[in-house]
Structure 1
Amino acid sequence: MPPFAVVPLLIAIAAALSLIGSVNGHVASYSETDVLRFINASAAAVSTKCHQRLATMGYFLDNQTSADRRRMFVDGFAVGPSYDYGHRDHDRWVYKALECLSSADESFLVKSKTPMHYCIGVVEKASAYSVCLPSECVDDQNNILAEWHRLHSDKHEAEQFYFENCMESRYEKQWFEQPLPLLDLIQNFMMIGFVIAATLYHHFSVRLSNRPIAKFFLAFSAKNNLPKLVQMPRDAQSTVTCFFGIRFLSMVWTVVGHSFVFYQAFVENVEEFKTDMTSHFFNQWINNFTLSVDTFLVLSGTLTAYSWFQKWQKNSTEEEPTWRSWGYWLRFYRHRVVRLWPAYAYMLLAITSRLSVTHYHQMWPLTDPSVQCPKRWWQNLLFLNSLFDDRCMPWTWYIGTEFIFYLLSPIFLLALRKRATFGVGLAAIVMGVSIGLRAATILAYNFPPTQMLFKQPAMFNPDFIEHHLVIYVKPHTRIGSYLVGILLGYFLATGQKRQHVEAPSPLLQTVGWFASAVAGGWALFGLYPALQEWDWPIYHLVYGSIHRTVFAIAIAWLIYACHTGMGGPVNALLSHRCFIPLSSLCYGVYLFHMLPVLLTFLIETFPLRWTTQWPLFCHCFFQLCFAYVTAFILAMIVELPVLNIEKLLLSKASSLPKKQSEMTLRRDSSMDSSTNECTPSVNDTTARPVFV
C-alpha cells in the first residue's frame, strides 16, 4: 500500500507549529517611471527604426493602453541573481518573459500591432538582466541590455554577459508555414493511415497471407495490437499483478508533481502559492513527488531480476549464461534497445520538429526542445543525457540513468545466481557506496536533502540546476533503489520455486506492514524540517543520504506482501484489470506528458491566480487524458508494431536446420519476459518502463 503512516514525532511537531511566513522573490522589478526614463535615455544610442519605435513607448504606457498590458511590459525590466536564471524551475524569470510577450497582445490568429521581444543577459556567478523591447529594437538589444546592466551594476567594467538571448512574442512563421513541422504532421497522418489500412486488411481478409510482406503489414494492425494493451497475462501466477496499479498511480503522482512545479511560472501571486505548498505538512506528498522515480526504479529492477531468475529456474535444456556469454548478453541488451529506442526516437523527432513550436510564441530557450535538441539529440538517443547537461527533453533523464543500470544488471544477476550471500553482499556494498557518495556530495556542495521544488531555504546552496546535474540525475547516486528491486525480484522468483514455504505469522505480517508504513512515511514526510528551515544539519544529511533507499524498501515490502498473498484488499485494488491498459501505456505517457502540462497553462488567460488546489487538479486530469490519448496513438503506430517486426525478424531463424533453429529461437525468446507473443505482455521486463 502507499505509505499511510508517518513518524509520530513529525506529526506532533507539525500540529504544534504556527505555519506562517512567505517565500521572498529574488528578482527585482522597477516602476513605470523608472522604465520610461530608461527608454527615453536609451533612444539616442540605437538605430533610427528602433529610435522611432521607442519614441512611441510613452503613448504605449499612457491611459489608452490597458493597465494589465502596461504592467506586464514594465515588469519585463528586471535584475536578479544569475543562479535564479539558471534554475530549471526559474519561475519568476519565465513569468517575466511571459509577461513581456503577453504585453504584445498577440493571438494565434491575429498578429499584434506592437510585437515584443524579451531579452536577457546573464553575468556568470553574478546577476541576470532582462528588458522588454519593441521588436523593431531587437537588432539593438545588445546596446540596450548593456546600458540596463550599466545602470544596475557596480562592476560593469569587469563584467561581461556569458549568455544573451531574446524571445519573440510571435514566430516569424507559424508551424504550419514551415516545411519541417508540416512534413512531420504528414508523416504522422500517413502512419495512422497505414495502421487503419492494416487493420481493415486484417479484419476483412478471408485468408491471411503468410508472405513476409503481408506479415510486416499485419504488424501494424490494431486488431492484432489492441488486445495486447488490455489482456491479463496468460500465467497470472508468474506475473506481479500489483505492478499494474503501482505503475499507474506513480505515473499520476509524476504528472501531478510536474504540473504543480511548472504552474509557478504562470501564476501571479506565486508567493501565496509557495507558502501554501511548503507550510502545510501534508502537502509534502507533492513537495516530495520525485520519490516516484524510486518507485519506478524498484519496479524496473524487480522485473529484470524476477523474469530472469524465473527463466533459468524453469530452463533445463539450455546452458546458463556466464560472464563470457557475449552473444547472450548482446541479445539481452539488443532487446532492451529495441523496446525503448523506436518510441523514444519518434517522440524526440515529433517534439523537436513540430510539437514544441505549435504555440505562436517561443518557449523558455534553455529547455525548449526546438532550441536544445538539434544540438544534443545524440545524447538522448545514446542514452547518455543524464551524464551531460540534460537539456534536450530534460524530463527524460531517467531513460539514460535506468539504461545504465540495465547495462550493469548482469553483474548482480550472475552474482546472485552463483551464490545468494555473495550477490546480496555485493548489492549491499554498492548501495552503501552510493549512500556515502550522496552524503559526501551533499556536504561538499551544501545541497538540501533533495530537490526543493517550491522553496530554497537560505541555509542551503540555492543553485537548483547544479543540484539537478551533480546529484539528482547521476547513476552513482540513484542506483540504490534499483538494487532494492533486483534483490526483491530474486527473492520473489526463488521463493515462488519453493512450494512448501509457510506464510509469516499474523504478528510478523503486522510488524512488516507497520515498519514499511513508518519507513515510507518518514521518507515521504521527513522533508518537513528542511522546508521549515530548521537548523538540523545532521538530520538533513542523514535524510538526504538514505531517504530514497528507505522509500524503495517500503515499496519493496508492498510488492512482496501483495505478491505472496499478504496484500488482501490492497493487492485486489492494485491488481484490478482496469489498471492493465493504463499501466501498459505509461511509457508513452511519460515521453509526452510534459507537453500537455505546459499546454493547459498556455491556453488559459495569462496570468493565472492561485486560490486553491482544486483548479490545478482539474488541469492534471486533462493533462493525463491528453497524454494517454497520445500514448495510445504512439503504441499503435510505433511501439507495438516495432515489437511485432522484431519477432518477425527473429523468426527467420526457422530457415536454419531444425535443431539449430529451435535452439536459436529458445535463446531469443529468453529475452522476452515470460511471453512468446509478437508483442510483450504487460509483465514484460523491458516492454514499457516508466520514468519521471
Structure 2
Amino acid sequence: MPCHLSFIVILTFTLIYQRTSASDAYLLSYSAETIQQYIVTAADGNVSDKCRDSLLKVEPFLSAYDTLPLQKRLFYASYAAGDATQVQSRDRDRWHFRFRGCIIAAAEDTIIPSEHPMMFCTGHDSTNKTAFELGVCIPTPCLNDHLYLLNKWKEIVDNDGRGRINVAHCTKSRHEKQWFQLYGVIVELTCGFGIVATVAFATVYHLVRGDATKSTAMQIFLAFSAKKNLIAIITPPKNPTTAIKCIWGIRVITTLWVVLGHAAVFIADFVEEADELKRNVLNYFFYQPLTNAPISVDVFFVIGAVLCSYHWFRSLDKPGAMIPTWYSWKYWSEFYRHRLLRLWPAYLYVILLSIIRFPVLRYHENFPLWGHDDFGVECSKHWWENALFINAFTDGRCLPWTWYMGTEFTFFAISPIFLLLLKRSALLGIAISAIIIIASSVSLAVETSRYNFPPTQLLHFIPQNFNQDSMLYHSLIYVRPQYRIGPYLMGLITGYILATDGRPQRKSNSGSLSTRYKYMGWILSVIGGLWSIYGLIPALQKSDWPVYQVTFTAMHRIIWALSISWLIYACQKGFGGLLNAFLSMRIFLPLSSACYALYLGHIYAIFAIYMSSSFPIHYDGFITLLNYYWKHLSLCYFIAISILICIEMPALHIVKILFYNSEQQMQAEAKRPEIIRTREEDGLHSSPIHDSHIIRNNNVVRRIRPKSRRA
C-alpha cells in the first residue's frame, strides 16, 4: 500500500508540474576591448611605478604563445559588476566563479610561482544603497592602488557621478608565504603527526601485549589503539532488542543527503553553465530532493531528540536508578558535562585546522572560498562562538554549516524541562510541547511572509518573486532555534512513547495498534513525507498561492518530523517490514559512527575535489554532479575515519577513564578489554548526528549510587 500510494502522489505532482522560464544572470560582463581600454587608462593614471609596469605587462602576458586561451578568456570574464547587496546571497556563486577565473588566469603553481601574479578585487560605495559591486582582476603589485583602480573601473562601467568606492577586498593568487614557511602550520602538522604516531604505537602495543592494565597512564595511551577503536565502532549494542537500530540507516542516509545537497549547491561556483544548473534545480521534478535538501537537518533533530528521551526514560526504570528532580544539580551538571566532552574534541580540532592548516592548503589566499567567506579569517575571530555553541545566535561566520550544532545544543540544554514535564505528566508535557510547536510554526510563517522569504533556504536558487537575500534569511530564520524547535520536541515525545510503551503497567496496551491503524499511519506518513519534499514546487514555479505558501512554510517541517517519527516508531515496534530490515543492517553501524566527523569535514572535502578538477567544470546535467559525488563521499569518509580513529574515539575513551572509571569498574575492564562495548552503554553517538544525548551506561548513576549496580 505505501509503495502504490507513493507512485500515485509522485505521478500527480508530475502532471501538475510546469516548467518555468530560464533564470537570468545577474552579473554584468564586459568585452575584452573595454577591459583593455581600462588597463591602458589605469596605467596612465596616478599609480605607483611598480603597478604601472605590471599593468602594461598584462596584455603581452595574455597574448604570449605559452598562455593558454582559457587563461585569457577567464581573465576577461572575471571583470564584472552586480548588485552590492547580493554579493553574499543570490550572486555569491557567480562572484566566486570570477574570483576562481582570475586566480587561474595568473597561472600559479603549487611549487613554481607565477611571473605575473594577480589578485581579484571587489568593492562598492557603502553610502549608496543601490550601488554596484565591481570586480577587477589586477596585478598583485597594484595592491596599494586597488581603490584607485576600482574607481577607474567604476568610471567606465558605472559613471553616474555619484560617490566613490570606499569598501573593497582583494584576494591574491598566491600567499606571501607558503605553508612550509609558516611556524603555526609546522607546529600543527608536527602535533598531527605526533597523534598519528601515537595511534600507530598504541595499536602495535595492543596487538602484541594486549590492553589489560591497571595503570591510568597506560589506559590513556591504549585509548589511541586503532584495534580498540575499530572494535568499539563495529560492535553491536549489548541488548539489541532495546536499541533503536533503524536509526543507524536513517542517520547514514540523511548524512549522505546532506553531502549531496551541499555538493549541488557548491558546484555552481565552478561551472560556466550555472544558469542551466539553476533551471534544472527549479524546473525538474526529480531535482526536488536536492532543492529541498535543507529539510534533511530536521531528521537529525528528530533522531537526536528520540534517543535523548528514549534512553533517559529507560534509565529511570533501572533498579536503584537515581530519579532526578528540578534540583538535582549534580545530576544535570553531569548530563551537560558528558555532552560537551563528547562534542568538543573533534569539533575543536576541525576549528583548529580551519584556522591554521586549511587556509594554506592552496597556493592562493582564501581557501576554500574567496575573501568574504574565508573560514580561516572568520574562525580566527569567532571560534569561541562555535566552542560555546552560540553560533546559531550570531552571524555564524566560522564553519557556517555547523550552525546546526549550536541550534541542537540549545535544544539539548533545555531538554530537561520537557523530560521532567513528561515524567510528571505525559498529558502536561505533550500539551506544553504542542503549544510551543504551534507558536514556533505561526511565528515562522509570520516572519517569512513579512520579509517575503521563500518557504525554505534556497541560497542562489531563489525564484525572482521572492526576497533574494538568502543570507538574511539564513541569519533571521533558518538557523534560529525558535523556528526549528518543532521537530526536536516531536522527537522527545516519540522517544517518551517508545520508552514507556513497554513498561509493566502498560504491557496490556503494548503493540495494540490494529492493522487498520498501522496502514493509516503508513499512508499518512508517506503522503506527509512526499508533500514536505515536493510541496515546494508551487513556490519554485512562482505560483500566486499565498495561502498555500504560508501553510507550507509553517507546516512542512512539522509534517516531515511526524513522518520520520512514525518511521522510527513503526520500525521499533516491529511493523517496519523490509524497510526496518534495511535500515537496521549491520553495515550502517560503523558508517553511522563516522557521521559526526563526516559532517564536520564534508565541506572541505567537497571543495577539495572541485578545486582539484579542471576549471571550469562542464555541467552536463545530473550525471555531472553524480560523477563528483562519489569522489566527495570517498574523501569525506577518509577524513571522517581519520578524525574518528585519531581524535574522536580516543577522546571518548580518555573521558571515560578520567571521569567514569571507579576502582571497581577498572577491575571489571581488565576482564573486558574493550573500554566501550556497546552504543547503548557508553553513548558513542552523543553528537547532533549521533545516537545518544545523555550519559548512557548510567555512568552518572554508578558514581552516585554504586550499590545499584548489578553484576
User: Aligning the two structures, in what range does the TM-score lie when normalised by the shorter sequence?
Assistant: over 0.9
SS of match in other structure, 2:237: coil
For 1:400, the equivalent position in structure 2 comes to: 406
Counterpart position of 2:120: 118
Q: Pick one of 581, 586, 589 that aligns with 2:595.
A: 586
Matched positions, count: 676
Residue 475 of structure 1 corresponds to 481
Secondary structure at the aligned position of 2:586 is classed as coil
Q: How does 1:43-54 map to 2 (within 5 A)?
A: 43=43, 44-54=45-55
Identify if the C-alpha distance between structure 1 residues 259 and 654 changes in structure 2 by more than 3 Å, giving closer, same or farther: same
Letter in 1 for 2:458: M
Distance across 2 between alignment mates of 1:300 and 1:190 = 34
Residue matched to 1:55? 56
CA contact (8 A) 1:82 1:122 kept: yes
Aligned to 2:220: 216
The residue type equivalent to 1:638 in the other structure is I
Answer with 5-14 or 301-310: which moved more. 5-14
Given that residues 355 and 379 in structure 2 are in contact (C-alpha distance below 8 angstroms), is that contact kept between their aligned partners in structure 1?
A: yes
Unaligned runs of 5+ in 1: 656-660, 666-674
| 1:687 and 2:685 aligned | yes
Q: Which of the residues 77, 84, 89 maps onto 1:82? A: 84
Match of 1:670 in 2: none
SS in 2 for 1:576: coil
User: Residue 283 in 1 paired to residue 280 in 2?
Assistant: no
- 2: distance between equivalents of 1:91 and 1:219? 43
Q: 3-state SS of the aligned residue for 1:388? A: coil
1:612 Cα deviation after fit: 2.4
Q: For residue 42 of structure 2, what is the amino acid of its counterpart?
A: S
- Asked if the contact 2:229/2:645 (under 8 Å) is kept, the reply is yes
2:12 corresponds to which residue?
Answer: 12
1:140 counterpart residue number = 145
Residues 282 and 525 in structure 1, CA contact (< 8 A), matched pair in contact too: no
Q: 1:607 aligns with which of 613, 616, 630?
A: 616
SS in 2 for 1:290: helix
Q: In 2 relative to 1, CA 35–492 (structure 1 residues): closer, same or farther, beyond 3 Å?
A: same
Q: Show the 5 A alignment for 1:189-588.
A: 189-205=193-209, 208-314=212-318, 316-362=319-365, 363=367, 364-497=370-503, 498-500=506-508, 501-588=510-597
- Quick check: 1:225–1:640 contact (8 Å CA) kept in 2? yes
Distance 1:63 1:636, change over 3 A: closer
Q: CA deviation at 1:216?
A: 1.7
Is contact 1:300–1:685 with CA below 8 Å preserved after alignment? no
What is aligned with 2:35?
A: 35
Q: Distance in 2 between matches of 1:89 and 1:636?
A: 39
Given that 1:587 and 1:688 are in contact with CA atoms closer than 8 Å, whether structure 2 keeps it comes out as no
1:88 deviation in Å?
8.1
With over 3 angstroms needed to count, the CA separation of the structure-2 counterparts of 1:565 and 1:289, relative to structure 1, is same
CA displacement 1:492-545 (0-9 Å, x = unmatched): 001122334244222221111110000010000011111111111111111111
Contact 2:78/2:101 (<8 A) preserved: yes
Q: Could you tell me whether the CA contact under 8 Å between 1:3 and 1:518 is conserved in 2? A: no
Alignment-mate amino acid for residue 24 of structure 1: D
- Structure 2 vs 1, CA of residues 4 and 167 (structure 1 numbering), >3 Å: closer, same or farther? farther
Match in the other structure for 1:130: 135
Matched AA of 2:47: V
SS in 2 for 1:387: coil
Partner SS, residue 79 of structure 1 = strand
SS in 2 for 1:284: helix
Task: Report the Cα offset of residue 199 of structure 1.
Answer: 1.8
Q: How has the CA–CA distance of structure 1 residues 2 and 548 changed in structure 2, closer, same or farther, with 3 Å as cutoff?
A: farther
Determine helix, strand or coil for the equivalent of 1:496. Answer: coil
Q: Distance in 2 between matches of 1:4 and 1:372?
A: 50
Residues 646, 169 of structure 1: CA spacing in aligned structure 2 closer, same or farther, 3 A cutoff?
A: same
Q: Does 1:108 align with 2:117?
A: no
Call closer, same or farther: CA 1:157–1:175 in 2, change over 3 Å.
same
The AA in structure 2 aligned to 1:109 is I
Residue 342 of structure 2 contacts residue 687 of structure 2 at CA under 8 Å; is this kept in 1? no
Q: For residues 677 and 302 of structure 2, what CA distance do their matches in structure 1 show?
A: 20
Structure 1: distance between partners of 2:435 and 2:325? 22
Q: Quick one: which amino acid aligns to residue 135 of structure 2?
A: S
Residue 622 and residue 9 in structure 1: after superposition, are their counterparts in 2 closer, same or farther (change >3 A)? Answer: closer
State the Cα distance separating 1:177 from its structure 2 match: 2.5
Separation in 2 of the partners of 1:465 and 1:105? 33
Q: Secondary structure at the match of 2:372?
A: coil
| Counterparts of 2:299 and 2:595, CA distance in 1 | 14
Quick one: distance in 1 between partners of 2:375 and 2:545? Answer: 40
Q: In the alignment, is the contact (CA less than 8 A) between 2:521 and 2:566 conserved in 1?
A: yes
The alignment-based identity, stated in percent, is 36
Any gaps of 5 or more consecutive residues in structure 2?
Answer: 691-711
The answer on whether the counterparts of 2:255 and 2:595 sit within 8 Å (CA) in structure 1 is yes
Contact 1:367 1:394 in 2 (8 A): no
How large is the RMSD of aligned CA atoms in angstroms? Answer: 2.6
CA contact (8 A) 2:267 2:610 kept: yes
Aligned equivalents of 1:412, 1:216: Cα separation in 2: 37
Instruction: Describe the superposition over 1:533-580 as per-residue Cα deviations: whole angstroms up to 9, x where unpaired.
Output: 111111111111111111011000010000000101000000000100
Q: In 2, Cα distance between the equivalents of 1:399 and 1:3?
A: 34
Change in CA separation of 1:524 and 1:17 when aligned onto 2, cut-off 3 Å: closer
Q: Deviations over 1:16-41 (max 9, x none)?
A: 55525211111111111111111111
Structure 1: how far apart are the matches of 2:268 and 2:502?
48
1:402 shift after superposition? 0.5
Contact 2:354-2:379 at 8 Å conserved across structures = no
Contact kept in structure 2, 1:643 and 1:680, CA below 8 Å:
no
Q: Kindly provide the CA deviation profile for residues 643-680 of structure 1, in whole angstroms up to 9, marking residues without a partner as x.
A: 2122222346549xxxxx99xx9xxxxxxxxx997437
State which drifts further: 573-582 or 118-127: 118-127
Paired amino acid for 1:600: I
Note if contact 1:277-1:454 (Cα within 8 Å) is conserved in structure 2: no
- SS of 2:135's equivalent in the other structure is strand
CA contact (8 A) 1:304 1:685 kept: no
Tell me the equivalent position of 1:668.
none
Preserved contact between residue 77 and residue 132 of structure 1 (Cα < 8 Å): yes
Contact 1:680 1:687 in 2 (8 A): no
How many Å separate the matches in 2 of 1:12 and 1:209? 65
CA–CA distance in structure 1, aligned partners of residues 662 and 605 of structure 2: 43
Q: Deviations over 1:389-423 (max 9, x none)?
A: 11111111111110010000000000000000000
TM-score (norm 1): 0.93
Change (3 A) 1:150 1:206: closer
Counterpart of 1:596, as a letter, is A
Tell me the equivalent position of 2:72.
Answer: 70
Q: CA deviation digits over 1:220-245, x for unaligned, max 9?
A: 22222211111110101111000110
Give distance in 1, aligned partners of 2:81 and 2:288: 31
